Structure 1
């Protein structure tokens, strides 16, 4: 009997010793413990995953999502988003997504095809561009001829459409995570103020450029919606609609066109380096400079919560573009000098 009582005492002591204390949470790893999540906090490992595509969209969404959600862009910067073929690892990321946000308008067709095949059945794919403009507002142009049926998808280059993207993103994130409604609304309000400042600075830049110089010839035709908003004329694109290099005949026509119109500069692309562009500029005797539509300046992460470079943002990209365009078309590049290009959340957030 004494032996039995002694055994029961030892067992009860072991149960007490092995029970978790009230102020500790036991991890699935027995060697790791963590402090319980306080009210209003989220456990990192439990964050919902939002998958995006190109870097500007990722940065816009990240500024709304902040630290409540994990935002991951899968199209690498400096990659042609039109022809990008997703990697096997992207299927794994998409299979874990709680929400997928794309641009749409046929921009990321291979990526969206993989997303539909890989994502959980309940995961939504939301297209920002397709929900910002209607089909009668689509633009077709040199790189995107109407007979091919693919509209120009580069809406985000227009800051007014970037505002629409931010609002739509806030709606989708709130639907995904209703408890974060006020948080997303605050981030949206702050971010829209930054985008409004970008819009105003852009209008000042355009006004500083002589009217006769408000013409764009670019390598890849990504400025159509920006030009429509700010009173520029897109006079052509070097890159044909098949995304290959132009023929000798196409080059000769472009050189003649530049000479007749008299623009002082043409603009290449960070994503599409081309010797043809340099040849055209040399023979037409104009300057050349590179702009960007989906590659953010400097090195960094498009995810605001991982970004350590305050210029590696959508607004930073557009401010840099305005500086380049103004410098080469006779405008005042200093008009964007005081523009706040930082994120509204994350390590580089600025007031």
Structure 2
């Protein structure tokens, strides 16, 4: 559990020991909530920023438990970058415990959020049942977990990634006006690279026959990808990896997979493979590889930055579906 006293003590000690070094450092001190946002920040900030990442490569922000060192990092930060849309359930208590005076920036500001899969599921049930879902006392929210009205995985659309980058550049300009020209130039150059990536992605999806564009993943992390690029994703778990699928959910999914003729099934780097392996065994669909959904890979992995992550995921899906 979160120990506010430990955070307060640790942060006080760090302040006493680190004041001189922070005062002499030229860099803008930035804390990013997880690895994908940290990568965006590095591309915008370049050498003018010093970035700390709370949930690192292959880490799962859905279940992350903050440490005293995280509170200390926030306490010394100039800017804190968070996804928002209730993705980082730990952030509000961490910010409060740290006592940070940093500017806290939600980098999803300005996107058009999609309804979460859980909300869509409940809306369909309300329509089909012809009565109010809540008044009837039903709970289909994956073992009682509820992760907000909107799907937080907005970075799975490259267009949204461009908005993330613009928001980060604006935040850096506000905190470090002397570096604004650099941040603006860096963000524009990176957005141009994202535009080229999107052209690649659309071409890769177009090469997949329309009747083979249904795949299975561990949890509902790819809603924005589906909306943007036309590949359909079905998953046994909800928006959060905390939400464990019941036996009935899995049985229903297996029936759906057989009916919809899913073309491939994938593991995710942040989730336990057991459930996907079970579905693969019962449906006869071979596991096509591992996708990077909520976190980058380590430095030596195939998805150590956002552009490589997106390209790797698309190539992995295309190869598994087409059998190449």
TM-score category of the 2 structures, normalised to the smaller one: 0.7 to 0.9
Quick one: structure 1 residues 111 and 188, their matched pair in 2 at CA, closer, same or farther if it must change by over 3 Å? same
The aligned length equals 277
How far did 1:295 drift? 2.7
- 1:88-167 alignment to 2 at 5 Å? 88-121=68-101, 123-129=102-108, 131-134=109-112, 137-142=113-118, 148=146, 150=148, 151-167=150-166
The 3-state SS of whatever aligns with 1:46 is coil
Change (3 A) 1:239 1:314: same
Query: Residue 310 of structure 1: CA displacement?
Result: 9.2
Preserved contact between residue 52 and residue 72 of structure 1 (Cα < 8 Å)? yes
Q: Tell me the residue number matched to 1:320.
A: 312
Structure 2 distance, partners of 1:286, 1:310, is 24
How far is the alpha carbon of 1:189 from its aligned partner? 1.6
Aligned-partner Cα distance in 2 for 1:127–1:241? 19
Q: 1:143 offset after TM fit, Å? A: 9.2
Deviation at 1:149? 5.7
Q: Residues of 2 paired with 1:210 and 1:247: CA distance?
A: 32
| CA distance in structure 1 between the aligned counterparts of 2:284 and 2:252, rounded to whole angstroms | 15
Equivalent pair of 2:30/2:81 in contact (CA under 8 Å): yes
User: Alpha-carbon deviation of 1:113?
Assistant: 2.2
Structure 1 unaligned residues grouped into runs of 5+: 1-42, 301-308, 333-351
2:299 equivalent in structure 1: 299
Q: Secondary structure at the match of 2:90?
A: helix
Q: Which runs of 5+ in 2 are unaligned?
A: 1-22, 123-140
Q: What is the TM-score when the length of structure 2 is the normalising length?
A: 0.79
1:150-196 CA deviation, whole Å, 9 max, x = no partner? 12100011111111111111111011111111111111121011111
Could you tell me which residue of structure 2 aligns to residue 290 of structure 1? 290
CA RMSD of aligned residues (A): 2.3
The Cα of 1:244 is off from its aligned counterpart by 4.3
Provide the residue aligned with 2:192 in structure 1: 193
Q: What secondary structure is seen at the aligned counterpart in 2 of 1:53?
A: strand
Q: Is the 8 A contact 2:87 2:152 kept in 1?
A: yes
CA distance in 1, matches of 2:231, 2:302: 29
Contact 2:31 2:77 in 1 (8 A): yes
CA contact (8 A) 1:102 1:126 kept: yes
Cα 1:128/1:281, change in 2 over 3 Å: same
State whether residues 208 and 331 of structure 1, in contact with CA within 8 Å, keep that contact through their aligned partners in structure 2.
no
Q: Distance in 2 between matches of 1:60 and 1:76?
A: 14
SS at match of 1:101: strand
Establish whether residue 254 from structure 1 lines up as the match of residue 253 from structure 2.
Answer: yes
Taking the aligned partners of 1:197 and 1:45, their CA distance within structure 2 comes to 36
More helix by share: 2
Q: Deviations over 1:203-223 (max 9, x none)?
A: 001100110111232111100
Rounded Cα–Cα distance in structure 2 between residues aligned with 1:248 and 1:310: 33
What SS is found at the alignment partner of 1:125? strand
Task: Output the CA distance in 1 between the equivalents of 2:160 and 2:207.
Answer: 23
